[in-house]
Structure 1
Amino acid sequence: MTLSDLTNRAWYFIWDAPLDGAPWWQRQAQHMLRIAGVLIRDFSSGTLNLHAMSLVYTTLLALIPALAIVFSVLKGFGVDRELEVFLTEFLAPLGSQGLEIRDTILRFVEQVNIGLLGSVGIAVLIYTGVSLLQKVEAALNEIWQVRRLRPLARRFSDFVSVLLVGPILMVVAMGLMASVAGSAAVDGIGGESMQAVLSEVSRLVPYFLVVLVFMIIYMVIPNTRVTLTAAFVGAVVAGLAWNIAGWAFASFVVTSARYAVIYSAFASLIVFMFWMYVGWLILLAGAGIAFYHQNPAYLTRSAVYRLSIEARERLALDIAYLVAAAFERGETPWTSQRLARIMHLPLPPVERVISFLLQEGMLLETGSDVPGLVPARPLDRIPVEEWLRIVRQGAEGHAQLTLRPGAEVIVDNDKLGPLIDRLDEARRDALDGLTLRDLVTGTHEAKPVTDKVASISKS
């Protein structure tokens, strides 16, 4: 068997093999391989890399102000030394250069006197921290296919809360773990076997803490509902990748003397920036895993999600029925995310159909944080024929192109136009008088158009 045959068989198993009745481990293997495939596709497109590099730049600007705020709060509680413990753990993969960077950061942080900055200075400090969280939110929203941001007031309050509370809890937790692990009280518990167990547990606790931090970020930052299972799966993989990257960094990157020779005095800064880049890339990759685990409809060969005209019309009819039925019964309005989820479709084609109907005044969005969809007119004044025509004629791209009525090379071209006109007339006759209310109540039957279709076929 050649390498090409093995590749084709693997490709068939990942994308084409029907596994409805297969054992659970085969289905899970196919699911994980599909997630790995689409993640590789996302990396190759360069979007995740661009977001990671942008976050590195923003982190450099926001690092000292954010740590200054955290240091001031910790100092008020008398636990400011925990910041040093946190930085030591975070920069441990950088070896001796990490200690040098830690001392430099702490020196800058201690020189920032928030009490002397005034209101403007404090506002600038908070803004730099909030700007970092805004970029994180933008990156995660793009991964989660979220087009709508939170209201400005809510975004600011949420980000300030995360900026003040999140790092403090993480710093204190890591500091307490390091203190407890090295305390004499722990050393005196049990015999040698218990000490061995506690030693292994203490080695795993930092990993679990990293997983917890990733999971909280995945559930809180994106402006959409992320299930606990999806966030946990993404966080576990990201946490494992974080520890592997730390080991690789400490083993191969930091021990190499070439960086110091090439970059001289800038070597520590370059290594620090590269470590931040790897960290942000791992966080974004974990978010992608969580997204694809929660939304398997996006696990397709291509990242371009398009529907045929026939499928678009059927989707439009489904949307018409669900939206009209919910409106008629006084139920909670449907959202585009909920529609895509129950139809097992990616969000972009569903949003595209909805955008056509919104632009032409057939639908309205509610004013809630996650807008619902309601009919723009009374149900008995929305013809189904008009609803479908809007979706069928909607432009897929940014510009609507006009097709020429014919070409010079076509003989008897004047007969083709009337044929299209008769097809449109047959559609109008079949849907004549049918409204969205009729779809909900089922009180209207479509007219038979056998004679009309027969006359068209004879033409």
Structure 2
Amino acid sequence: MQVDIWRIPDEELSPVRRVCYEIIKVASLAIRFFTTKRVVNQASALTYSTLLAIVPILAVVFAIARGFGYNKYIEVWFLDSFSSQPQVAEVIVGFVNSYLVHTKSGIFLGVGLIFMLYTVMMLVNNIELTFNEIWQVKKKRSIFRTITDYLSMFFLFPILIVVSSGLSLFLATMANSMDDFLLLGSTLKFFIDATPYFLMCLLFIALYVLMPNTHVKVKNAIVPGILSGIAMQMVQFVYIHSQMWVTGYNAIYGSFAALPLFMLWVQISWTICLFGAELTYTSQNLDFYDYDAHTDDISHRYQLMISALLMSRICRRFADGKAAPSADDLRKETGIPIRIVNDLLFKLAEAKMVIEVSSDEKGATSVFVPAESLDNLSVGVMIDRLEAQGSWKLDLPLSNLMNAEWGRAVVMRMGYLKQAKDVKLEDLVERS
């Protein structure tokens, strides 16, 4: 039955059954990737990074807010957001205020600011690397885009907090003044109660779309973002209403119990976040999983053959004066799964066989063109460059280990590559 679900054409299914099958496929793939890729371990690593960076991050946020006169809004928002962790929230606010008091002398604008920004960027970089691994993206942001993207997100964060806090206060004031209007008052109270859910869902959707260094469609991030936001609010609700369950735990550890409970809460939060990222990835790439294979599972000989197929299409399009193909164009032409296409194109680009051209660094319009003249691009050149990839070599006295048969083998290999260089990659495809 599992094979049937994956192999039945959509044309043979009713709209309702097609949607049900897609939900089952997305959920099953997300759960499988979540377990096989050890995402829980990645959530643990992000938990550790969050604990290291939370005080410096909030210190910068509070400092920016105080510069605009919004420090009270920030503190109220933070305490409300950590209502399930009141002891931890008070301790962190105390640390932040103490940190800022000791940096008023001007150090905050020097070494302190550099250290805090470095801590923030390292945390966000770890988040991006985790998301890129989920999305199987190997290309990192450039240094310029890293600095601009990270800092823009970081400095917009307190502004969004102030706006959302102000909106909540405005709605609360309006609701209190409309008690006489039964319908309007209850409607506003509903919106006030739903505001945390809406903001949390919006935060997750933005994170799933913006954080990976690839093009993520907003429509594929909406449902995972909503599910993650609701799950986070449910975790908050369960934690707040389950304090009686941890009474014995508090009796043993005392005030120190707040730290492991806070770490557990952060761990669960990152686990929810990363599972939502897996859902987003599988939702967008569901059509590409007819074959569940990866380049690590393919023999070296077969990788060379598939690379030749991809290179032949790229070179033939270039020779015919047609538009350069994208990774998805090559997938459609050859039937090769998109993950294998992306992996091999990355290796071909590293081997200086192709050049990735994109007007958008996140890859929305990436196309691939030959890296040099077509006369130089042959099967032999491709094999030689792909097999020569790598920067680490053993410094061994090979001359002492080789004999006449070694020399004969080397000559035979050189002859093989010379013959393969006579086969142009563009000639592997019939002219249109």
TM (norm. structure 2) is 0.78
Written as runs of structure 1 = structure 2, the 5 A alignment for 1:76-155 is: 76-92=67-83, 94=84, 98-113=85-100, 114-116=103-105, 117=107, 118-155=109-146
Aligned equivalent of 1:172:
162
Instruction: Give the total of aligned pairs.
Output: 401
Distance verdict in 2 for CA 1:129–1:189, change over 3 Å:
same
- CA distance in 2 between counterparts of 1:304 and 1:263 reads 47
TM (norm. structure 1) is 0.74
The answer to whether 1:67 aligns with 2:62 is no
Letter in structure 2 aligned against 1:379: L
Aligned equivalent of 1:281:
271
Aligned equivalent of 2:400:
none
Aligned equivalent of 1:420:
none
- 2:209 corresponds, among 207, 211, 219, to 219
Moved more, 178-187 or 49-58: 178-187
Aligned equivalent of 1:51:
42
| Per-residue deviation, 1:208 | 1.4
- CA distance in 2 between counterparts of 1:74 and 1:110 reads 13
Aligned equivalent of 1:242:
232
- CA distance in 1 between counterparts of 2:67 and 2:153 reads 18
Distance verdict in 2 for CA 1:176–1:90, change over 3 Å:
same
| Per-residue deviation, 1:201 | 2.1
Q: Is the 8 A contact 1:297 1:344 kept in 2?
A: no
The answer to whether 1:264 aligns with 2:254 is yes
Moved more, 175-184 or 294-303: 294-303
Q: Is the 8 A contact 1:55 1:280 kept in 2?
A: yes
SS, match of residue 374 in structure 1: strand
- CA distance in 2 between counterparts of 1:235 and 1:287 reads 8
Q: Is the 8 A contact 1:130 1:163 kept in 2?
A: no
Q: Is the 8 A contact 2:294 2:340 kept in 1?
A: no
Distance verdict in 2 for CA 1:184–1:251, change over 3 Å:
same
Distance verdict in 2 for CA 1:44–1:232, change over 3 Å:
same
Distance verdict in 2 for CA 1:318–1:58, change over 3 Å:
same
Letter in structure 2 aligned against 1:196: S
| Per-residue deviation, 1:289 | 0.9
Moved more, 374-383 or 270-279: 374-383
Distance verdict in 2 for CA 1:337–1:136, change over 3 Å:
farther
| Per-residue deviation, 1:124 | 0.5
Distance verdict in 2 for CA 1:346–1:106, change over 3 Å:
farther
| Per-residue deviation, 1:226 | 0.8
The answer to whether 1:375 aligns with 2:370 is yes
| Per-residue deviation, 1:15 | 3.7
Letter in structure 1 aligned against 2:92: I
- CA distance in 2 between counterparts of 1:436 and 1:251 reads 66
- CA distance in 1 between counterparts of 2:43 and 2:246 reads 24
- CA distance in 2 between counterparts of 1:331 and 1:222 reads 31
- Structure 2, gaps ≥5 residues long: 393-415
The answer to whether 1:442 aligns with 2:428 is no
Q: Is the 8 A contact 2:135 2:281 kept in 1?
A: yes
Q: Is the 8 A contact 2:168 2:195 kept in 1?
A: no
Letter in structure 2 aligned against 1:188: M
- CA distance in 2 between counterparts of 1:348 and 1:280 reads 26
- CA distance in 1 between counterparts of 2:180 and 2:332 reads 53
RMSD: 3.9
Letter in structure 2 aligned against 1:181: L
Distance verdict in 2 for CA 1:321–1:302, change over 3 Å:
closer
Q: Is the 8 A contact 1:35 1:299 kept in 2?
A: no
Rg bigger for which structure? 1
Q: Is the 8 A contact 1:340 1:350 kept in 2?
A: yes
Moved more, 207-216 or 132-141: 207-216
Distance verdict in 2 for CA 1:35–1:225, change over 3 Å:
same
Letter in structure 2 aligned against 1:268: A
Per-residue deviation, residues 406-428 of structure 1 (Å, max 9, x unmatched): xxxxxxxxxxxxxxxxxxx9xx9
Distance verdict in 2 for CA 1:21–1:326, change over 3 Å:
same
| Per-residue deviation, 1:188 | 2.2
Q: Is the 8 A contact 2:172 2:189 kept in 1?
A: no
| Per-residue deviation, 1:146 | 0.6
- CA distance in 1 between counterparts of 2:332 and 2:203 reads 27
| Per-residue deviation, 1:270 | 1.2
Per-residue deviation, residues 350-396 of structure 1 (Å, max 9, x unmatched): 2444466557664455698557533244324544x6489779x979x
| Per-residue deviation, 1:308 | 7.8
Per-residue deviation, residues 207-263 of structure 1 (Å, max 9, x unmatched): 111111111112222111111111223212211222222223233466432321343
| Per-residue deviation, 1:34 | 1.8
- CA distance in 2 between counterparts of 1:435 and 1:335 reads 21
- CA distance in 2 between counterparts of 1:169 and 1:231 reads 24
Letter in structure 1 aligned against 2:256: F
